[in-house]
Amino acid sequence: MSTLTCHTYLDNAELLSSLAQAHPKLLSSSPAEGADGAAPGKIELHFSENLLTKFSGAKLVMTEMPGMAHSPMPMKAKVSAGSDPKSMLITPLAPLPAGTYQVQWRAVSSDTHPITGNVTFKVK
């Protein structure tokens, strides 16, 4: 194998390796993890990589309600692409009552490997 071919092969291997490891990471959310405040009209998630919206998504779940014991309760919400290709927007279809909520997200970028996580916040 010539030196040029060897370098090209190694360069391509490094490129493929870096692409394969490009998993999206949650950089920020609004409301932020652990926030305690007014009911948000929308929830925004911002990631480190462009998302493949066809394979990415989220669920909004109420996990606690003051004074009531109940199982986690799915809330109706619209999930869509955000204002840029690295963000996701979750819009509740009705005002959120007081309680604790969890956004359970799934993000897929160009490497097609799904990454999951959650963001928890409280509504007063």
**pTM of the prediction?**
0.81
Cis peptide leading into residue 31 (ω within 30°): yes
For residues 99 and 120, give the distance between their C-alpha atoms in angstroms, rounded to a whole number. 11
Give 40-79 as a 3 state SS string. CCCEEEEECCCCCCCCCEEEEEEEEECCECCCCEEECEEE
Run of H or E residues at 110: none
User: In CATH, which of 3.40.50.1970, 3.40.50.720, 3.40.140.10, 2.60.40.1220 is domain 23-123?
Assistant: 2.60.40.1220
Which pLDDT tens digit goes with each residue over 100-110? 999 999 999 99
pLDDT at res. 25: 97
pLDDT at res. 22: 72
pLDDT beneath 50: ranges in the chain: 3-20
Hey, where are the domains in the chain? Answer: 23-123
